[in-house]
Amino acid sequence: MSDAGRGILTVVSGFAGSGKGTVMKKLIEGHDNYALSVSATSRKPRPGEEEGISYFFKTREEFEEMIRQDALLEYAEYVENYYGTPKDFVFSKMDEGKDVVLEIELQGAMQIKKKYPDTLLIFLTPPSADELYKRLKGRGTETDEVIAKRMKRASEEALCIKDYDYLIINDNIDDCTRRVHEAIQTAHHTVRHEAELIERIKTELKEIGGNK
Ligand code: 5GP
């Protein structure tokens, strides 16, 4: 573990089209204390996506082998494809003191929160459903059928936002990125993440008390 202590694990979720990807990119580019986990998926690459940067692209069979090997921190099926978080990267970066960010959907977020209750959960949303639809359409990379499925999925996901710690509206990328950064940095000072400091203060108090 570094002098900075163990990093914070943060899950960022949001409706498809909420701009999560862009916010994550800005967050990583703007600060050097973050490490963004790269997921594995059985989805086919979109134009411009790169192996090992956007995702580790797998066949369904390869993905199922990773599940059997217990190589994933969590995984879920989302609109007919598997998505999952490789374990090793997350733990090694947190031990180095990095704040690790996972950009994952809701089922995965709930699995992580159950296993690691100290995880910070942030949900991003566009300002309105209409804006969400426009962003998905404007992306031009998905068929109308897939867009319809993603909109349906968004209305199911809306029911679970209450289980997150923060809801942040993405109406401006810079403001949204700043709010995400502030939420993560504030989490460093919550009592549950300050266990080491608390122990040190307790020891020091005992020592001073014993010398008086
Ligand atoms: P997309 O196909 O648009 O890249 O991603 C679809 C959804 O899968 C998004 O909501 C994204 O956050 C989520 N996702 C990406 N990686 C993971 C992962 O490792 N685990 C889980 N549970 N969801 C993921």
Q: What is the pLDDT of residues 58-93, one digit of tens each?
A: 999 999 999 999 999 999 999 899 999 999 999 999
Residue 9 lies in a domain: yes
Residue 165 lies in a domain: yes
Query: Which protein residues are within 6 Å of ligand 1, measured from CB?
Result: 16, 39, 43, 74-76, 78, 83-85, 103-105, 107-108
Going by CA atoms, what residue is nearest to atom 21 of ligand 1? 104
Q: Residue 170 to residues 34, 60, 124, 131, 148: CA-CA distances in angstroms?
A: 20, 33, 6, 11, 21
Whole-number pLDDT of residue 192: 81
Residue 119 lies in a domain: yes
Going by CA atoms, what residue is nearest to atom 14 of ligand 1? 104
Residue 182 lies in a domain: yes
The answer to whether residues 184 and 120 touch, using CB atoms and an 8 Å cutoff, is yes
Residue 57 lies in a domain: no
Q: How confident is the model at residue 1 (pLDDT cuts 50, 70, 90)?
A: very low
Q: Residue 8's domain is classified under what CATH number?
A: 3.40.50.300
> How far is ligand 1, taken at its centre, from the CA of residue 83, in Å?
6
Q: How confident is the model at residue 210 (pLDDT cuts 50, 70, 90)?
A: confident
User: pLDDT averaged over the chain?
Assistant: 91
Q: Which atom of ligand 1 approaches the CA of 76 most closely?
A: 22
Q: Could you list the residue range(s) of the whole structural domain that residue 29 is in?
A: 3-37+98-210
pTM (two decimals): 0.85
Q: How confident is the model at residue 190 (pLDDT cuts 50, 70, 90)?
A: confident
Q: Which atom of ligand 1 approaches the CA of 43 most closely?
A: 2
Residue 115 lies in a domain: yes
Number of compact structural domains in the chain: 1
